[in-house]
């Protein structure tokens, strides 16, 4: 069982395996890249130790921007370029063993990466969008969107 998202691993397959499968689908089907930003955010948000505490807060705001404010990945990159520039920022995006994101209390996820995989490659984009909305709603229910832009 995944200690972060709660997924039950089947036949030794982990959440990371599902993440890599989605990356393969995106590589094999160029149009699937349209949901890449949502897929990566959802996976990382459900595995918060991959982010630093500041990175996790920023990712939550970014998901809200994408889903509620209609911000595109291009607009977000342009807007946040200076803020996330590794030569300028004084905080880390990536989590470390000493400083990583965590939800206290844990967030209950109605949909996880394994569900996207189970829906199949032909439904990937729709499933990724549904997953993103599900992650957003779970964060909202858990009171984690209070600092969203």
pLDDT of the chain, 149 residues: tens digit per residue? 999 999 999 888 999 999 999 999 999 999 999 999 999 999 999 999 999 999 999 999 999 999 999 999 999 989 887 777 777 777 788 999 999 999 999 999 999 999 999 999 999 999 999 999 999 999 999 999 865 44
CA-to-CA distance for 22 and 24, rounded, in angstroms?
A: 5
**Residue written as token pair 């969203």:** 148
Q: b/e for 113-137, b at 16 or more Cβ within 10 A? A: bbbbbebeeeebbebbebbbebbbe
The two tokens of residue 20 are 């890599």
pLDDT of residue 23: 98
Nearest to 110 by CA among 7, 4, 3: 7
DSSP 8-40: PPBTTB-HHHHHHHHHHHHHHSGGGGGGHHHHH
Instruction: Supply the pLDDT for residue 88.
Output: 76
Q: What is the pLDDT of residue 92?
A: 83
Helices first, then strands: H and E counts in the chain: 6, 0
Nearest-angstrom CA–CA distance, 7 and 32: 24
């Amino acid at each position: 069982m995944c200690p972060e998202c709660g997924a039950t691993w089947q036949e030794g397959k982990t959440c990371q395996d599902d993440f890599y499968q989605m990356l393969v689908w995106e590589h094999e089907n160029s149009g699937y890249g349209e949901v890449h930003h949502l897929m990566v955010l959802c996976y990382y948000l459900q595995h918060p130790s991959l982010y630093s505490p500041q990175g996790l807060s920023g990712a939550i705001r970014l998901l809200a921007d994408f889903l509620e404010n209609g911000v595109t990945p291009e607009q977000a990159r342009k807007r946040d370029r200076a803020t996330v520039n590794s030569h300028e920022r004084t905080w880390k995006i990536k989590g470390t063993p000493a400083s990583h994101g965590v939800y206290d209390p844990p967030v209950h996820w109605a949909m996880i990466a394994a569900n996207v995989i189970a829906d199949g490659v032909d439904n990937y984009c729709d499933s990724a969008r549904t997953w993103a909305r599900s992650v957003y709603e779970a964060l909202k229910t858990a009171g984690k969107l209070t600092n969203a832009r």
